[in-house]
């Protein structure tokens, strides 16, 4: 009888009505559940799959918006300061006018013969490159410093509120940057303050979305899932490029106002519908007494390059635990009743989190094998990526005859290549179980591609696009893999003994360290007078990222060789 009941529980776990009530769920989810119960009482769906897809979609949309609001400044730089000799005078301009003039306000402004009449003060000064570089640094340094605190906060609050509030405030400060033109603000410190505050609230994004996705998806094919999911960074960059380039030559304030408004709107959607953990809607997966999900043990190797315990022994232990759980169910009516009430979805055992699930501190997270190496490697990998992010449209315009709008659109090829690179890196990492080696190979290929792009990228538009695509593939692949799959894996490392409360902290440490590099790169690019020197810096940074992964990569290769020899011996 108990065996039949257990089978019924499992069958109901696959398809179940959406009419269940969840007191802790967002108001949007509760509304959908209520409406489905009233309008479609017989509607049966796989609720676990439904919630997983919704989480993937919502977090994807959220981080797309985060990157969408970071991109406009790289496009608008080309009109904040440009060569005014090629710009047409406005129709209502009087040639004898001698008063000071600012863009789109022709009651005041310089005489067009001074060569800066079309620039937006204070960026009409000779040191405009340095001023623009300081804007990038204000955002990126505040982002990097605040990121370490963001992980600490994210582990201790509701991630739905964390993301919704962060998106609303990030959108607000993007909006305020554009409003400087509307209200004729020319104080440099205003722009610095807006960028710094935007950087602080942008830190809510990465620890939040990675932790939520890590809670919902186990380690099986995590590299591929994160690789596809991580395309939101490139899609966000492209969306920001398209919006900003559409308005850049007519009214650049809208290049910031429109993305800021859209981000605030999506933040409200997060508040209404985002389910930040399986336990909120009773969709916990079956876990072993050690705190690990069933079937996870023995599947993947450790990221510090050392092997886990023998796979066969782990599988045997898991099977024995499953059998013991089944015998316990058959012999206890009380156990059956508890499962029937608490697991209408999965048809599996829901257990409370292990007592040892305490929040991991900063120093404890640093002791996890591999965190330091991957963090430092990301410092240099993200330096390269963000130098392209903030300066690529400006570089294309300065090295070719293309205008601001076309330069921005050509630069999108780098982000499209980044999408392919993130997916490829995830798939290769899943297939090989060697994430450090995957990053190592792609970084080795990226270094010469940077030199080739600098030498030949300006030869033609077609060649520029092609080289940008391939360079973006190799540059973004390691960056995406480290910030997603590797961070999630280290946050649930075997050395934590099943403790799952380190994911946001580890993610924040890795991405925070990388963000310091992201702040240094654009700053140095603004200070260096020659673009050749900028590309030398990028090549050196790429090589440094490669060198820092040598130890873990060599251990991965050694482990693979040992495994292959062991397999050959067994076959013989």
Contact 172, 225 (CB under 8 A): no
Contact 203, 143 (CB under 8 A): yes
Burial grade of 182 (CB within 10 A; 0-12, 13-18, 19 or more):
exposed
**Could you tell me the two tokens for 347?**
């048809």
Cis peptide before 122 (omega within 30 of 0): yes
What are the phi and psi torsion angles at 128 (to 5°)? -60, -35
**What mean pLDDT is predicted for residues 285-292?**
46
Lowest mean pLDDT among 69-78, 319-328, 362-371, 480-489: 319-328
Contact 225, 422 (CB under 8 A): no
pLDDT in tens, 482-529: 887 787 777 665 555 444 556 777 778 888 888 888 888 888 887 786
Q: Distance (Å, rounded) from C-alpha 64 to C-alpha 235?
A: 6
Integer CA distances (angstroms), 536 to 221, 404, 445, 531, in order: 37, 25, 15, 9
DSSP 8-class letter at 280: G
- Does the structure show a pLDDT above 60 at 218? yes
Lowest mean pLDDT among 102-106, 111-115, 429-433: 102-106
Contact 392, 416 (CB under 8 A): no
Contact 20, 283 (CB under 8 A): no
pLDDT at 87: 63
Closest CA to 321 of 281, 346, 349: 349
Strand partners, 44: 17
Q: Distance (Å, rounded) from C-alpha 435 to C-alpha 431?
A: 10
SS3 196: helix
121 or 91, which is more confident: 121
**Could you tell me the two tokens for 413?**
């090829």
Give kind and range of the element (H or E) at residue 16: strand 16-17
- Does the structure show a pLDDT above 80 at 144? yes
**pLDDT band at residue 63 under the 50/70/90 scheme:** very high
Alpha carbon 4 to chain centroid, angstroms: 46
How big, in percent rounded to 5, are the helix, strand and coil portions of the chain?
Answer: 70, 0, 30
| CA diameter of the chain | 99
Alpha carbon 119 to chain centroid, angstroms: 34
Q: Distance (Å, rounded) from C-alpha 168 to C-alpha 283?
A: 29
Contact 257, 176 (CB under 8 A): no
Q: Distance (Å, rounded) from C-alpha 523 to C-alpha 32?
A: 48
pLDDT at 553: 87
Strand partners, 287: 293
Q: Distance (Å, rounded) from C-alpha 333 to C-alpha 357?
A: 30
Q: Distance (Å, rounded) from C-alpha 150 to C-alpha 504?
A: 8
Q: Distance (Å, rounded) from C-alpha 174 to C-alpha 257?
A: 7
Integer CA distances (angstroms), 139 to 191, 192, 251, in order: 10, 8, 23
Lowest mean pLDDT among 34-48, 58-72, 256-270, 444-458: 34-48
pLDDT at 107: 43
pLDDT at 101: 42
Question: In degrees, to the nearest 5, what angle opens at C-alpha 480 toward C-alphas 302 and 68?
Answer: 150
Closest CA to 64 of 297, 240, 187, 182: 240
Report for 21-35, 99-113, 353-367: range of highest mean pLDDT: 21-35
Q: List CB contacts of 157: < 8 A, sequence separation 6 or more.
A: none
Strand partners, 293: 287
Residue given tokens 């009233």 in the structure block = 38
End-to-end CA distance of the chain: give it in Å, rounded: 48
Contact 438, 421 (CB under 8 A): no
pLDDT at 313: 40
Residue given tokens 């050690």 in the structure block = 290
Q: Distance (Å, rounded) from C-alpha 32 to C-alpha 43?
A: 12
Q: List CB contacts of 113: < 8 A, sequence separation 6 or more.
A: none
pLDDT at 495: 54
Integer CA distances (angstroms), 383 to 100, 262, 392, in order: 39, 28, 13
pLDDT at 434: 87
**Could you tell me the two tokens for 192?**
């610095």
Closest CA to 58 of 216, 198, 173, 171: 216
**pLDDT band at residue 307 under the 50/70/90 scheme:** very low
């Amino acid at each position: 009888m108990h065996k039949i009941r257990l089978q019924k529980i499992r069958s109901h776990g696959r398809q179940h009505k959406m009419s269940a009530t969840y007191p802790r769920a967002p108001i949007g989810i509760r509304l959908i559940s209520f409406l489905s119960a009233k309008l479609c009482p017989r509607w049966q769906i796989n609720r676990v799959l439904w919630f997983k897809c919704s989480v993937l979609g919502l977090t994807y949309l959220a981080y797309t918006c985060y990157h969408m609001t970071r991109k406009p400044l790289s496009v608008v730089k080309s009109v904040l300061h440009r060569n005014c000799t090629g710009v047409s005078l406005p129709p209502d301009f009087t040639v004898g006018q001698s008063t000071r003039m600012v863009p789109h306000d022709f009651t005041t402004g310089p005489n067009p013969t001074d060569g800066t009449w079309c620039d937006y003060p204070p960026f009409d000064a000779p040191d405009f490159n340095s001023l623009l570089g300081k804007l990038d640094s204000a955002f990126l340094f505040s982002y990097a410093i605040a990121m370490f605190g963001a992980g600490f906060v994210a582990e201790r609050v509701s991630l739905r509120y964390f993301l919704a509030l962060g998106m609303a405030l990030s959108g607000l400060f993007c909006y305020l940057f554009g409003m400087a033109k509307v209200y004729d603000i020319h104080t440099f410190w205003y722009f610095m303050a807006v960028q710094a505050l935007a950087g602080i609230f942008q830190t809510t994004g990465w620890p939040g979305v990675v932790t939520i996705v890590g809670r919902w998806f186990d380690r099986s094919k995590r590299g591929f899932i994160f690789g596809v999911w991580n395309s939101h960074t490139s899609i966000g960059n492209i969306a920001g490029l398209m919006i900003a380039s559409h308005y850049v030559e007519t009214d650049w304030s809208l290049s910031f106002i429109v993305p800021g408004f859209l981000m605030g709107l999506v933040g409200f959607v997060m508040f209404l519908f985002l389910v930040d953990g399986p336990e909120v809607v009773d969709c916990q997966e079956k876990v072993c007494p050690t705190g690990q999900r069933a079937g996870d043990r023995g599947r993947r190797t450790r990221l510090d390059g050392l092997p886990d315990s023998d796979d066969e022994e782990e599988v045997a232990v898991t099977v024995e635990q499953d059998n013991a759980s089944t015998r316990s169910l058959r012999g206890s009516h009380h156990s059956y009743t508890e499962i029937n009430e608490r697991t209408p979805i999965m048809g599996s055992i829901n257990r409370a989190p292990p007592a040892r699930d305490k929040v991991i501190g900063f120093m404890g997270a640093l002791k996890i094998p591999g965190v330091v190496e991957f963090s430092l490697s990301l410092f240099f990998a993200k330096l390269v990526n963000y130098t392209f992010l903030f300066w690529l449209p400006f570089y294309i315009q300065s090295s070719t005859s293309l205008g601001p709008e076309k330069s921005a659109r050509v630069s999108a090829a780098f982000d499209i290549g980044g999408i392919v690179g993130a997916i490829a890196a995830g798939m290769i990492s899943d297939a090989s179980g060697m994430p450090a080696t995957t990053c190592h190979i792609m970084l080795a290929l990226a270094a010469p591609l940077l030199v080739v792009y600098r030498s030949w990228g300006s030869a033609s538009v077609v060649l520029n696009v092609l080289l940008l695509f391939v360079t973006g593939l190799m540059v973004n692949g390691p960056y995406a893999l480290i910030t997603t799959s590797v961070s999630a894996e280290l946050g649930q490392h075997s050395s934590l003994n099943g403790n799952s409360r380190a994911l946001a902290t580890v993610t924040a440490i890795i991405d925070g360290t990388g963000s310091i590099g992201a702040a240094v790169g654009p700053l140095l690019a603004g200070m260096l007078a020659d673009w050749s020197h900028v590309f030398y810096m990028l090549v050196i940074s790429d090589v440094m990222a490669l060198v820092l992964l040598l130890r873990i990569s060599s251990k991965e290769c050694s482990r693979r060789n040992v495994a292959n020899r062991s397999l050959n011996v067994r076959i013989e």
